[in-house]
Every structure is written in structure tokens, then in C-alpha cells.
Structure 1
């Protein structure tokens, strides 16, 4: 089969690789109809996530048709159309039983975190879904059957960025009348803005440095926008225009934010895992006793982390990998009834054969690229 594989820093290739096979009785094989490139995939190809071997199949936003099922699988059958949430979850450990799916105790023998599809040996070593076929472990737990009346484009993002963005807004406890700052106008940031408005936020301020993404936020989400490159101290500016700070700040950037020279050196030397610029903005942009949520992915430990700034102002800090499984059904209901639509963020639909080009434009922000969907069967 064809698959997109990691071949080194900023180097991905479309290769012919071996088809996946049923390995355990509760595995399923999915014939992938649509998959997507996520911002956190860039953390992998930038070298910020350890234990990523060359030839590793990337991707964790995947859906398709069930092709084969293990003999213990009862929840789905061959021919079912499913979305596959990115956490690999057993369904019966303490964390899964408490809806903390991304921290499953049994899905990752390589570390203390739960397993994730397509996210290096550090997170379980599971091949990703940017391929023509995908093996999905725990077939009775993760995959969700979706209605045929909805297009792939409407439901694909249930695999990650729709749950992740809503989870971020939920962790921020956004309520009617709130002021919310969203750092980043990539796919998760744009969706977090939508969810904040859906939850009743009175004022949403989107922060980025890429004009076309800021224009998209303004056009489709009707939010205020701030280009952080226009200010010497963006955090202080946000504090000023919100009269003391926002009720919550949602960081949808993570370690791929703009790095200082020192951060670049420290990242190369593996002394730090990327940028913490978004965190630093959030310390100033949030009001006293407010909430800062980190849904952008962070990796290694960080030098000069502004812990004192959070502590002295009684800031609540929340973060982590989204327990996506719990969000699929409620969001699917909103999509089915026309109450929520995420398709405006899709800017490119390409064959998987164009995988190298897709990664290049997504990473370099060329051709006004916001979100790429890949079609492995074309």
C-alpha cells in the first residue's frame, strides 16, 4: 500500500509499504477514505518528539471503511464507515473507565502516557493513518460508525481537532459574556474560536502572525484579530485592550510557536523542546484568577518557564491530550443537525500521492494553506 512516512527532519516521502494485518483478536483493518495532516504532525517532522524511526507511517486523523475485523470484534463489522479517534484506548483500565481515554494504562508499553496513532515509538509505536489502510487496535473501543448522509469532510475532524478544540474551550470553562483569547489561527485555533462563540463568549480575540489565517478568522468566525508581530509585547497589549486581561487564554500553538535565538539553540542541543512564546504571551494576556489552557502540543522540559507569573496571579493552568472518544457522539449530533460546521477550514484536498507537496505547503504556510485532506484511494 501507499503511505506517508518520516524520513528525517522536514523530510517525508510517499512509499510503498507492507499492508497492515490483524495482530490481535480485537483489531480491525480500515480502508482509509480520508486522512488529514495535523499541526502536531509538524512537531514530529521538526524533530521535537523523540523515538521517531525513519520509515514510520504518520497521521492520526483518519476515517474509512472497515475492511477486516478480528474474531473478538463485536461493535463494528466489515463495510461500516467509521472515524477513528487518535487515542489508542483499551476501554477497561481505570483511565478509560473514567473517560480519560488519552491516558489509557494498557495501550503504551513504551512510556507513562497513553498510546496515540501515528505518533512515534514514544506513544506506543502505532502506525499512522496517512496510508491506504490502517490497523486499529481495540476495535470495540475507539472506532465510531458515522451516518452515510454526511460527507467525509463533515466528520473527519471528529478524529482529533474537533474534540481537541471543544475540550480546550470546556477546560477554559467558557461561559456567556466571557472574553477569550485564542493563540493561533491554525485548524485547532480556528475551531476553538467557533466553540467559544458557540458557548456564548462575548468577545473572542484571535492571535497569529500569518495574515491569511487572521483574515480567515475574521471572515468566518467574526472575531477580533491581533498580529503579534506588530507589537513589542503582545501579552501586555492584550491585557490593555481587555482592561486587565481575558477570562481565559487558550494556547493552540504549542511548541511550534515563534522561537527566540536562544530557544533555537537549546532545541537543537535538546535542552528544550521548541518554543514557549505562546505560554509567555498567555501569562500577561489572562486576567488575575483567570484560566490558561494548553491544547497545543508541548514536548520536553522548558527553561525559564514562567511559573511565578502564573502563581502570583492565581492563574489556573490546564493542559494535555484530549480524551477525544467522549466528544465524538455529542459533536456528531451537532454536525448532523446543522448546528456546527468545520468544513470552512479545508483549503486543500489532494491525493496521497501528493503527500510530500501537502506537507511542504502546510509546514511553510504556502498557497494560503490551513487544512489539508488526503485521499489515499485515488
Structure 2
């Protein structure tokens, strides 16, 4: 089959790779109908996630048609159309039993973290879904059948973007009347704006430096936008215009923020885990006794982390990978009712063989790219 693979630092290529096979009795194989590129895929491509071998298949936002099922698969049949959440989860360990699917004890035996599709050997070594076919482990727990009347584009984001953005808002504790600052207006940030509004946030301020992304955020009624490049101290500016800081700051950027020269060198030498810029802005922009919620992915250590300032101001810091399995069905119900539609963030639909070009425009923010869907 053909698949998009990591081909060394900043290398992405479409290559012929072996077809996946059933490995365990609760596996399935799906024929991929749609997949997409996530900002965290860029972490692998840019060498910020260790133990990503050449030839590793990328992608963790995937849906398709069930082609083969293992003998122990109980809830699916050949021909079912399914979305596949990005965390790999067994469904019966302590963490799965408590709804923390992204921290499954059995998904990553090499490391005390969860396992994720298409996210390097560090996180289980599971092949990704930017391919013609995908093996899905623990199929009794992860994949969810979606109605035939819904288009792929309506449900594909159930795999990651929709659950992660909603979880960020809920886990961050956004409540009616809150002032919320959202850092980053990529796919996660844009959907986080919408969930925060649904939760009753009184004031939402979206922060980015990319003009077309800020313009998209402004399409959501009542959202204020701030271009952080226009302010010498953007965090301080946010603190001032909110008269003492936001109740909740949601970091949808992670380690992909702007890096200074020292951070670039430290990251290259694996002494630093990417940018610290979003953390710095969040620390300055949050009110005393407020909450910073980090859904943007970080890796490795962060030098000069502002721990003392967070401590002295009683800031609650929350973070992590979304337990997507817990959110798919509730959000799917909203989609079926016509109560939530995320298709506005889709800017490009391309064939799988245009994968290298897709990664290019996504990373370089060319052609007003926000979200790319790939069709095998």
C-alpha cells in the first residue's frame, strides 16, 4: 500500500510499504477513506519527538471502512464505517476504567505514558493512518461506527480535534461569565473558541500572529483577536486589557511557538523541549488563582520555566493528552442533530499522493491553510 512516512529530519514522502495485518484477536484493518494532518505531526517531522525511525507511517486522525476483523472483535463487522480515536486504549486497565484512555497502561509497554497512533516508537510504535489501510488495535474500545448520511468531513475530526478542543475547555474549567484567552488559532484553537462560547464564556480573546487565522477567529461572533507580534509584551498586554488577567488561559500552541535563538539551539541539542513563548504569555495573561490549560503538545524539559511566578499567584496548571474515547459519542450526537459543524476549518482537500505538498503548506502557513484532509 501507499503511505506518508517520516523520511528523516523535515522529510515527508509517499512510499510503498507493506499492507498491515491482523496481529491480535481484537484488531481490525480499515480501508482509509479520509485522514488529516495535525500540528503535532509536525513535531515528528521536525525531529522533536525521539525514536521516530525512517519509514514510520504518520497520522493519527483517520477514518474508514472495516475490511478485516479479528476473532475477538464483538462490536464491529466488515463494511462498518468508523472513526478511530488517536489514543490506543485497552479498555480494562485502571486508567481506562476511570475514563483516562490516553494514559492506558497496556498501550505503551516501553514508557510510562499512553500510546498513540502514528506518534513514534516513544508512544507505542503504532503505524499511523495517513495511508491506504490502517491496523487498529483494541478495536472493541476505540473505533466508533458513524451514520452513513454524514459526510467524512463532518465526522473525521471526532478522531482528535473535536474531543481535544472540548476537553481543553472542560478540563480547564471554563464556566459561564468567564474571560478566556486562547493561544493559537490553528484547528484546535478555533474549535476551542467555539466550545468556550457554548460553555458561556463572557469574553473570549484569541491570540496568534497569522493574519488569516485571526480573521477566521473573528468570524465567530464576539471574539476579540490579538496579534502578539504587535505587542512588545503580549502577556502583559492581555493582563491589562482584561483588568487583572483571564480566568482561564488555554494554550493550543505547545512547543511550536516562536523560539528564540537559545531555544532553537537547546531544542536541536535536546536540552530544551521546543518554544516556551506560549507558556510565558499564559503566565502573564492569567489572573491570580486562575487556570492555565495546556492542550498544545510539549516535549522534553523546559528551561527557565516560570514555576515561581505560578506558585506565588496560586495558578492551577493543567495539561495533557485528551482521552478522546470519552468524548466521541456525545459530540457525534451534536453533529447528528446539526448542533455543531466543524467543517469551516477545512481549507484543503487533497489526494494522499499530494501529502508532501500538504505538509509544506500546513507548516509554512501558505495558501491560507488551516486544515488539510487527505484522501487515499
Instruction: Provide the TM-score with structure 1 as the length reference.
Output: 0.99
CA distance in 2, matches of 1:220, 1:3: 36
Q: Which residue of 2 aligns with 1:210?
A: 210
Q: Which residue of 2 aligns with 1:240?
A: 240
Does residue 29 (structure 1) correspond to residue 32 (structure 2)? The answer is no
3-state SS of 1:197 partner: helix
> Contact 1:252–1:295 at 8 Å: present in 2 too?
yes
Q: What is the CA-CA distance between 1:170 and the residue it aligns to?
A: 0.4
Q: What is the CA-CA distance between 1:201 and the residue it aligns to?
A: 0.6
CA distance in 2, matches of 1:98, 1:301: 28
> Contact 1:193–1:221 at 8 Å: present in 2 too?
no
3-state SS of 1:13 partner: strand
Q: Which residue of 2 aligns with 1:66?
A: 66
Q: What is the CA-CA distance between 1:274 and the residue it aligns to?
A: 0.5
CA distance in 1, matches of 2:221, 2:331: 18
CA distance in 1, matches of 2:308, 2:281: 14
CA distance in 2, matches of 1:80, 1:350: 24
CA distance in 1, matches of 2:333, 2:8: 40
CA distance in 1, matches of 2:314, 2:221: 31
Query: How far does the alpha carbon of each residue in 1:49-100 deviate from its partner, in whole angstroms, 9 at most, with x for none?
Result: 0000000000000000000000110111100000000000000000000000
Per mean C-alpha deviation after superposition, the further-off stretch among 172-181 and 236-245 is 172-181
Q: Which residue of 2 aligns with 1:266?
A: 266
CA distance in 2, matches of 1:109, 1:171: 27
Q: Which residue of 1 aligns with 2:292?
A: 292
Matches within 5 A, 1:1-378: 1-220=1-220, 222-376=222-376
3-state SS of 1:325 partner: helix
> Contact 1:346–1:373 at 8 Å: present in 2 too?
yes
> Contact 1:69–1:77 at 8 Å: present in 2 too?
yes
Aligned CA RMSD, in angstroms, stands at 0.7
CA distance in 2, matches of 1:40, 1:170: 21
CA distance in 2, matches of 1:212, 1:221: 16
User: Residues 335 and 56 from structure 1, CA distance in 2 versus in 1: closer, same or farther, beyond 3 angstroms?
Assistant: same
Q: What is the CA-CA distance between 1:221 and the residue it aligns to?
A: 5.1
CA distance in 1, matches of 2:328, 2:155: 9
Q: What is the CA-CA distance between 1:220 and the residue it aligns to?
A: 3.6
Query: How far does the alpha carbon of each residue in 1:186-234 deviate from its partner, in whole angstroms, 9 at most, with x for none?
Result: 0000000000001111110000000000000002454100000000000
Gaps of at least 5 residues in structure 2 are: none
Q: What is the CA-CA distance between 1:5 and the residue it aligns to?
A: 0.1
3-state SS of 2:358 partner: helix
3-state SS of 1:29 partner: strand
CA distance in 2, matches of 1:8, 1:66: 31
3-state SS of 2:311 partner: helix
> Contact 1:114–1:123 at 8 Å: present in 2 too?
yes
Q: What is the CA-CA distance between 1:114 and the residue it aligns to?
A: 1.1
> Contact 1:238–1:245 at 8 Å: present in 2 too?
yes
User: Residues 51 and 221 from structure 1, CA distance in 2 versus in 1: closer, same or farther, beyond 3 angstroms?
Assistant: farther
Instruction: Provide the TM-score with structure 2 as the length reference.
Output: 0.99
CA distance in 2, matches of 1:161, 1:314: 30
3-state SS of 1:350 partner: strand
3-state SS of 1:33 partner: strand
CA distance in 2, matches of 1:335, 1:55: 36
Query: How far does the alpha carbon of each residue in 1:259-307 deviate from its partner, in whole angstroms, 9 at most, with x for none?
Result: 0111011111110010011000000100000000000000001110000
> Contact 1:61–1:84 at 8 Å: present in 2 too?
yes
